[in-house]
C-alpha cells in the first residue's frame, strides 16, 4: 500500500492537564514542521510556569486521590486496556508520527503495533511488586518492606521515536503507581498529544497522564519543579547533564538515556552478506536518527575493501522519498537544524582527511520537495581520533575504520565517551562471547543489529546514561522501598540505646 497525501491545513492542538485540553496561560505557540515538505503543519501551545505547575499539581492530586486508591491489579487492567486501544489506533498514530518527524511510515507502523506488548507486560507486573519479610536480628520485632510509587514523574522525550521512548517510561511508571507529566520534543509534539487522548477512553482517572508542550524552557521548568519526584529523560549528553543538574536541586531521581557512538565490528570470519545488511540497518535505517545507530564501522583489514564496496553498493540503491510511501527506504532528517548539523559533520570530516566513498551531499529530491534530505553517506580514511568518529552525528553518516587484531578492534570500540550499543559479526562463538563481554556497552548484538523489546533491559555505560529502561527491573526504578517495623514485645526498651 502506498500513501502519499499530505495534510493540507495547519492543525491546532492543546495541552492535556488534569483531564482538560487547555491553551497555554502565556498565549505563546510553537509551530511543528513536516520534514518531507519543509512546511508547517501543526501548532501547539508553549507552556509557561503556571502551566507546568498546574500539570504537576494535577499529577499529584491523582496520585493522592483516585489513582492512588486503585489496587495494583486494577492498574494493570487499565494498562492492558490502554495497550488494546493503541493496537486499534496504531495506524493513525504511526501516520501522525511519520508526518511529524519524517521517519518511515513502514517503521513507525511496526513500532506502534508493537507498543501494546509493553503495556501488557508491565500491566502484568503491576501486582507482582512484592515486599519482603527480613528476619529480625533481635527478639520482639516483625519487619516487612513495601514497594511504593516514587511519585510524580517528569518524562522528557526526544524527537526521533516519541511514542516508543515515551512507552519505555510510561509503562513501568504507571505499573508502579506513579503519575506523569510528559514534555515531548518541541519538533515532534503531535503524536504524544494524540496518544494522550487514549487515556480517558481507557478509563484512567484525570491527572494520571498530563502533556505540556514547548521548547527547552518548558522542559527546564518541569525538571526543576520541586513537585517532580523523578525525571526520565532521553536525549543528548549535553541536555542530560543539564537535566541532572536541575533535578539535583531538589534531589529528584533521574533515569538518563543519552547518546551513542556505537561500533559495528566485522571480523574476518563474518558472513559478509549478513554483515553488510546489518551495517546498512544500523546506520541508514531511520535516517541514522537513532541513539543506537551503528555509526562506526570497524572492519578486519582483510575484509575492508569488499565490505566497504558492498555497503556503498547498497547505499547507492536506497530509495529516498516520501516517508508516507511504504516503498521509501529512507526519509528526510527531522528538521532543517538537524540537516545542517549532519552536513557540517561531513564537511569537517573531509577537511580533516576523510574520503567520501558515497553520498556527502543533499540530493536533488531535497530541492524538488522542500524536504530536509541528506544522502546516505559512507566515509573512509577515518581514524578514531577524528570528530566524526567521536561525536554523535544523528544522521545517515557511516565512519569506516580498519583493524588488524581482535584486541585492536575492542580497543577502538571502547575508545569513546559513549557506551550504548555495539554489533559483533563473527562465526566464532568463542570470539562472539569474548568480544561481547569486552566491549563497554549496554547492548551488544551478535550477527544482528538494532533489536529492542519490552523484557530486555536497555541503557548505556559511561556518558550514554544512567539506569535501565525495559525489563523486569525497570519497574523498580519507579518505586521507593519502605521498611516497616512492628514491635511485638511488651518489654520496655532502654530509650538511650538504639536497636
Sign, Cα dihedral of 240, 245, 247, 253: positive
Instruction: Tell me the average pLDDT across 428-437.
Output: 98
pTM to 2 decimals? Answer: 0.95
| d(C-alpha 499, C-alpha 490), whole Å | 15
Residue 9's pLDDT band, with cuts at 50, 70 and 90, is confident
Asked whether the beta carbons of 261 and 391 are under 8 A apart, the reply is: yes
How do residues 211-257 score in pLDDT, each as one tens digit?
999 999 999 999 999 999 999 999 999 999 999 999 999 999 999 99
Q: Which three cell numbers stand for residue 187?
A: 519538533
* pLDDT reading at 3 higher than 50: no
Question: Which residues, 6 or more positions from 385, have their beta carbon under 8 angstroms from its beta carbon?
Answer: none
* 381 SS3 class: coil
| d(C-alpha 421, C-alpha 248), whole Å | 27
* pLDDT reading at 4 higher than 50: no
What is the average pLDDT value for the chain, to the nearest integer?
96
* pLDDT reading at 62 higher than 70: yes
pLDDT number for residue 5: 45
Sign, Cα dihedral of 292, 186, 330, 337: negative
| d(C-alpha 422, C-alpha 414), whole Å | 10
Question: Among 6-20, 345-359, 435-449, which stretch is predicted with the lowest mean pLDDT?
Answer: 6-20
What is the arrangement of strands in the sheet containing 29-34, beginning at the earlier edge strand? 11-12, 39-45, 29-34
**Angle CA 252–391–410, to nearest 5:** 100
pLDDT number for residue 8: 56
| d(C-alpha 433, C-alpha 214), whole Å | 45
* pLDDT reading at 410 higher than 50: yes
Instruction: Tell me the average pLDDT across 107-131.
Output: 97
Instruction: Tell me the average pLDDT across 22-47.
Output: 95
DSSP class of residue 325? B
**Domains assigned to the chain:** 11-258+460-483 (3.40.605.10), 263-446 (3.40.309.10)
Which are the catalytic amino acids? 257, 291
How far CA 367 is from CA of 266, 372, 393, in Å, comes to: 37, 9, 23
CA gyration radius, the chain: 24
User: For residue 31, which of 22, 41, 21 has the smallest C-alpha distance?
Assistant: 41
Amino acid at each position: 500500500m502506498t500513501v502519499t497525501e499530505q495534510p493540507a491545513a495547519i492543525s491546532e492542538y492543546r495541552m492535556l492537564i488534569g483531564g482538560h485540553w487547555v491553551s497555554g496561560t502565556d498565549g505563546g505557540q510553537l509551530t511543528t514542521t513536516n520534514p518531507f515538505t519543509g512546511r508547517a503543519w501543526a501548532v501547539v501551545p508553549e507552556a509557561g510556569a503556571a502551566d507546568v505547575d498546574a500539570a504537576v499539581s494535577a499529577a499529584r492530586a491523582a496520585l493522592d486521590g483516585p489513582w492512588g486508591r486503585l489496587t495494583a491489579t486494577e492498574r494493570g487492567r487499565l494498562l492492558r486496556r490502554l495497550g488494546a486501544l493503541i493496537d486499534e489506533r496504531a495506524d493513525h498514530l504511526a501516520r501522525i508520527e511519520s508526518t511529524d518527524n519524517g521517519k518511515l511510515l513502514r517503521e513507525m507502523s511496526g513500532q506502534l503495533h508493537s507498543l501494546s506488548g509493553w503495556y501488557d507486560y508491565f500491566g502484568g507486573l503491576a501486582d507482582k511488586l512484592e515486599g519482603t519479610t527480613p528476619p529480625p536480628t533481635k527478639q520482639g520485632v516483625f519487619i516487612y518492606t513495601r514497594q511504593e510509587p516514587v511519585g510524580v514523574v517528569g518524562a522528557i522525550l526526544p524527537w526521533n521515536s516519541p511514542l516508543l521512548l515515551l512507552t519505555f517510561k510510561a509503562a513501568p511508571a504507571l505499573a508502579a503507581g506513579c503519575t506523569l507529566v510528559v514534555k515531548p520534543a518541541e519538533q515532534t509534539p503531535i503524536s504524544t498529544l494524540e496518544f494522550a487522548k487514549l487515556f480517558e477512553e481507557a478509563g484512567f482517572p484525570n491527572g494520571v497522564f498530563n502533556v505540556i508542550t514547548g521548547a527547552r524552557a518548558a522542559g527546564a521548568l518541569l525538571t526543576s519543579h520541586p513537585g517532580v519526584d523523578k525525571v526520565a529523560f532521553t536525549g543528548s549528553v549535553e541536555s542530560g547533564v543539564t537535566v541532572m543538574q536541575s533535578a539535583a536541586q531538589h534531589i529528584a531521581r533521574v533515569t538518563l538515556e543519552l547518546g551513542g557512538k556505537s561500533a559495528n565490528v566485522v571480523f574476518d570470519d563474518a558472513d559478509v552478506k549478513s554483515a553488510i545488511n546489518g551495517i546498512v540497518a544500523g546506520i541508514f535505517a531511520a535516517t541514522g536518527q537513532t541513539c543506537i545507530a551503528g555509526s562506526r564501522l570497524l572492519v578486519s583489514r582483510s575484509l575492508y575493501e569488499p565490505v566497504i564496496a558492498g555497503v556503498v553498493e547498497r547505499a547507492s540503491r536506497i530509495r529516498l522519498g516520501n516517508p508516507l510511501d511504504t516503498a521509501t527506504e529512507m526519509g528526510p532528517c527531522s528538521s532543517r537544524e538537524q540537516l545542517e548539523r549532519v552536513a557540517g559533520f561531513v564537511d569537517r570530516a573531509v577537511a580533516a582527511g576523510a574520503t567520501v566513498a558515497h553520498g556527502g551531499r543533499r540530493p536533488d529530491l531535497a530541492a524538488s520537495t522542500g524536504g530536509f534530505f541528506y544522502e546516505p553517506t559512507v566515509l573512509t580514511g577515518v581514524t578514531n581520533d577524528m570528530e566524526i568518529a567521536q561525536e554523535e552525528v544523528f544522521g545517515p553518516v557511516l565512519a569506516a575504520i580498519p583493524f588488524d587484531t581482535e584486541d585492536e578492534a575492542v580497543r577502538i570500540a571502547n575508545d569513546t565517551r559513549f557506551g550504548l550499543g555495539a554489533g559483533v559479526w563473527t562465526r566464532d562463538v568463542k570470539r562472539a562471547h569474548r568480544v561481547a563481554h569486552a566491549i563497554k556497552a549496554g547492548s551488544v548484538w551478535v550477527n544482528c543489529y538494532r533489536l529492542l523489546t519490552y523484557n530486555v533491559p536497555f541503557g548505556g555505560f559511561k556518558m550514554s546514561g544512567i539506569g535501565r529502561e525495559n525489563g523486569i527491573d525497570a519497574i523498580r526504578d519507579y518505586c521507593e522501598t519502605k521498611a516497616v517495623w512492628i514491635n511485638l514485645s511488651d518489654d520496655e526498651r532502654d530509650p538511650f540505646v538504639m536497636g
